[in-house]
Structure 1
Amino acid sequence: MVLTGCSGASLNPLDWFGPKDDIELVTLEPKDGWDAVDYDYRGPIAQVTQLSVERASGGYIIRAVGNPPRLGYWEAELVPENDEVPVKGVMTYNFMVAPPPWATATSRPQARQIHVAHYVSDVKLGGARSIRVVGANNSVTARP
């Protein structure tokens, strides 16, 4: 007698919380999936302060030091431009860092320093005459 008042209710518990056949589900997932989203939340470091290129087995190690505006920056990387192909004899890298997720102190420049390194093979270096590392406010160039 109680169920007679529920004219459109389904007695199947599997249908209680699921979608009906005539309802289209909407999702926030990107069409090509989450892995296809190419979003880099990092930005260029404020200032590149040092750059050195050291010979290594089969290539070179590019070492750079930079200063962000405050403490807490992380996930530093030298990101190559042009798929590590030299342009007019110059191989360019962007010094990228992730900002801290919270407010941090400014502190002294020595405390904020971030060191990063990147290996490049002789084959990729090709005919490059110089290596340039770019920050937000400056760039530094060195010769291999």
Structure 2
Amino acid sequence: MTPRTLILTTAAALTLSGCGLGESRLNPFNWFGGGGGGASDGGTAMSVPARREDPRPPVAEITDISLERATGGAILRVTGLTTEQGWYDAALVPATRETAFDGTLDFVLRASPPPAPTRASTRWSREVTVALYLTDSALAGLSAVRVAGARNVRTIRP
């Protein structure tokens, strides 16, 4: 073995041995902030992100709810009434759990309020309508769909 081969083999062995040192500066996975070695925060190897609460408030009142059959499932249509004009980005947000043990699917109708106060005006101008497609598999074993607003809850049975 030539001296050059010996030096290259030794350098490669030392470099690779640094990979086994989890928090070591010799570990190339740590060179650019990757933190490829052990768990430095004492956490698990795979962490699940915490579920964030939706910042949009619930609409004031649920005025109408319907479940219309469609190909391969049904369309849940919900109309809510806001306190003033200009609410936007409305959505049916699953409540704390997707399906309750009693076969009920819970949602909250949420929307973003206008950036500045607006007039209350007419009832028609404060309505928001949202639709959500539910597949047949989501409807299987379902006894009710419940949608909540700030002041009331409406339930429909499939």
Partner of 1:69: 83
Partner of 1:58: 72
SS in structure 1 opposite 2:62? strand
Q: Percent identity?
A: 39
Partner of 2:136: 122
Deviation at 1:48, TM superposition (A): 0.2
Partners of 1:91 and 1:125 within 8 A in 2: no
Q: Number of aligned pairs?
A: 110
Return structure 1 stretches of 4+ with deviation > 3 angstroms: 36-39
Q: Are the structure 2 counterparts of residues 37 and 130 from structure 1 closer, same or farther at C-alpha, using a change threshold of 3 Å?
A: closer
TM-score under structure 2 normalisation?
0.64
Partner of 2:9: none
Partners of 2:91 and 2:109 within 8 A in 1: yes
Partners of 1:86 and 1:128 within 8 A in 2: no
Deviation at 1:64, TM superposition (A): 0.5
Partner of 1:8: none
The code of the aligned residue for 2:150 comes to A
User: Could you say which structure has the larger radius of gyration?
Assistant: 2
1:53-82 deviations in whole A, cap 9, x for unaligned?
Answer: 001111111001010100010100011235
Deviation at 1:41, TM superposition (A): 2.4
1:50-109 deviations in whole A, cap 9, x for unaligned?
Answer: 000001111111001010100010100011235532431211111011111111111111
Instruction: Report the aligned-residue RMSD.
Output: 1.9
Q: Give ranges in structure 1 of 5+ residues lacking alignment.
A: 1-35
